[in-house]
Chains A and B, each alone.
Chain A
Amino acid sequence: MESTIISSKNFNAYFGANHVVKNVSIEIPQNNIIAVMGPSGCGKTTYLRCINRMHELIPGATTEGEMKLHKDNIYEMNPILVRLRIGMVFQRPNPFPNLSIYDNVIAGYKLNGMKLQRAERDNIVEGSLRKAALWNEVKDTLHKKGTFLSGGQQQRLCIARAIAMEPEVLLLDEPTSALDPISTASVEELLFDLKKNYTLVLVTHNMQQAARVSDKTAFFYLGELVEYDKTKEMFTNPKDNRTQSYITGRFS
């Protein structure tokens, strides 16, 4: 029996008076890949940003309801601890332009002033880059700026940066939407590998991608969680006709 790592109950999110995430209850099992799907503007990104408390950084943005990491209420923890334990990868790759590839990977430690031994640092950098399937491509240019890499490489660098902190959960917001098909394939492959050590929540617009990599899929519509089920089940036998219309392409 898998244990639940993230659970939300009657969770709501607002931008001012604009109610964007409505009463979402969901349980995310450990070491799974959960795909979050739904038409544009339905609140996928917002929900994801609520999990690691990035949402509240936007002026006027508020939340309501319960969100737990294991047994702890995320909204009662220190947000910094939350973000150390729940990593995030954004839609557009955003490596730190002033840092080298090496420093980008250990940015979480370095910029936070956490002291590490030289050997320990080297280990973390190599390990994270290997896990992000980037090591072979950059091992000779570790001291070049991260912004010299291609888009796909930059995105994998951002994944390496996030997993260097050894989070328990990794949130990914359309990580391949800015990438070409080859880079997309390598990132997808990577997600599959990462599943062994992490729990992944993946927002995607791409149904094939969801079908290929995810164990469970959550379908959002106008801020509500319409359906949440095993991916295979959802794609072959959707319970709700809004899900049905979406996966058959009747609205985008």
Chain B
Amino acid sequence: MKPIKGFSLKKVRAESAFKRTLVIMALVMIVIAAGIFLTLLVQSLPSIKALGGHYLSGKTWDPVSDIYGALPFLLGTLLTSFLALLISIPFSYAIAIYLGEYNPKGWLSGFLKNIVELVAAVPSVIYGFWALVVLVPMVRAIETKVGAAPYGVGILTASLVLAIMIIPYAASLGRELIRLVPSSLKEGAYSLGATRYEVLKNVTLPYTKSGLFAGLLLSLGRALGETMAVTMVIGNTNILPTSIFSPSNTMASVIANEFTEADRTVYLSALIELGLVLFLVTVVINLVGRMIIKRFTNE
């Protein structure tokens, strides 16, 4: 057999080592994801054992007297996130429809698209800082006008900054989905004499319905888990919110504020249980949202 220039079989052995490495990397992801869940679960056990079901329904969170009720934070989280979602919808849908349907090309939409992509990259701590300095006084002025206690910080402020933060994300997602509508469908409607609005209402929106719903879920998932900007403007108050002007706390912001101070096992564990709940909720929302989108894009 003729020898082959500069070739040795030794180099070939690396092949199976490489394949094994790839498999290990795929396993590492599973280990990390499972590890996160198990760590949260194990560290929550003292709190789960000590507090049981009262934990989620308890209205008082008073670590000094060892009372841990998470209801104020559940409510605070839900209120801020849903309010933010509500505020963001008209804007993110408008951008998505404009970029995806009305004017997909042209410099004006290029400009809008770039703005949206740039602001999506701004770190949340900067949004928080801006909100603290600019938004808080504005909300305080509103509160004075309507006769609410002029804290400035609170659920409304947090929702506003959250809304601003999720608009770019929701808009980009919506735009991608709307562009998936087959042009043949739209052309069919136009050829029957439909107006732009009628095509939007009767073709584009029905076609993208499930995708847009999934987009809402994913945006909600983001809002629920967002920590810094909210922590900076929500007022950090552990009582049940009574109105949208109330200072409050979300699950994420309580953890951010109290984790390094928690000096007793049950206290720390109660905080981690908040993390566990937050993790489960956002992960489920994300998985469902992704599943719907995957199904939608494969159709």
Give the interface of A toward B (CB within 8 A). Answer: 72, 78, 80-81, 84-85, 109, 112-116, 165, 168
Question: Are A114 and B12 neighbours in the complex by a CB distance under 8 Å?
Answer: no
Stretch at the interface among B2-10, B32-40, B80-88, B261-269: B2-10
Interface of A is mostly: loop
Question: Are B4 and A115 neighbours in the complex by a CB distance under 8 Å?
Answer: no
19 A–B contact pairs at CB < 8 A? A72-B1, A78-B9, A78-B12, A80-B9, A81-B4, A81-B9, A84-B4, A84-B7, A85-B4, A109-B5, A112-B11, A113-B11, A114-B5, A114-B6, A114-B7, A116-B5, A116-B6, A165-B4, A168-B2
CA distance A168 to B6 in the complex (A): 17
Say how far B18's CB is from chain A's closest CB, in angstroms. Answer: 13
Say how far A165's CB is from chain B's closest CB, in angstroms. Answer: 8
Question: Are B7 and A112 neighbours in the complex by a CB distance under 8 Å?
Answer: yes
Number of A-B residue pairs having CB atoms within 8 Å of each other in the complex: 23
| 9 new A-B contacts at CB < 8 Å, known A84-B7, A85-B4 | A72-B1, A78-B12, A81-B9, A84-B4, A109-B6, A113-B11, A114-B6, A116-B5, A168-B2
Question: Are A80 and B12 neighbours in the complex by a CB distance under 8 Å?
Answer: yes
CA distance A80 to B11 in the complex (A): 11
Contacts of B12 in A (CB 8 A): 78, 80
Contacts of B7 in A (CB 8 A): 84, 112, 114
Say how far B17's CB is from chain A's closest CB, in angstroms. Answer: 15
CA distance A80 to B5 in the complex (A): 14
CA distance A22 to B1 in the complex (A): 30
Contacts of A81 in B (CB 8 A): 4, 9
Chain A residue with minimal CB distance to B8? A114
Contacts of B9 in A (CB 8 A): 78, 80-81
Contacts of B6 in A (CB 8 A): 109, 114-116
Say how far A121's CB is from chain B's closest CB, in angstroms. Answer: 11
Say how far B70's CB is from chain A's closest CB, in angstroms. Answer: 49
Chain A residue with minimal CB distance to B9? A78
Chain B residue with minimal CB distance to A124? B5
Say how far A107's CB is from chain B's closest CB, in angstroms. Answer: 14
CA distance A115 to B2 in the complex (A): 18
Contacts of A168 in B (CB 8 A): 2
Contacts of B2 in A (CB 8 A): 168
Say how far B222's CB is from chain A's closest CB, in angstroms. Answer: 37
CA distance A97 to B207 in the complex (A): 39
Say how far B157's CB is from chain A's closest CB, in angstroms. Answer: 51
Say how far A87's CB is from chain B's closest CB, in angstroms. Answer: 12
CA distance A113 to B12 in the complex (A): 11
Fill in one digit per residue for B167-192: 1 if any A CB lies within 8 Å of its CB, else 0.
Answer: 00000000000000000000000000
The 10 closest A-B pairs by CB, nearest first: A114-B6, A80-B12, A84-B4, A115-B6, A114-B7, A114-B5, A78-B9, A78-B12, A113-B11, A84-B7
CA distance A109 to B5 in the complex (A): 9
Say how far B14's CB is from chain A's closest CB, in angstroms. Answer: 10
Contacts of A116 in B (CB 8 A): 5-6
Say how far B243's CB is from chain A's closest CB, in angstroms. Answer: 61
CA distance A5 to B205 in the complex (A): 66
Chain A residue with minimal CB distance to B5? A114
Contacts of A85 in B (CB 8 A): 4
Chain B residue with minimal CB distance to A113? B11
Contacts of A109 in B (CB 8 A): 5-6
CA distance A183 to B1 in the complex (A): 35
Chain B residue with minimal CB distance to A77? B1
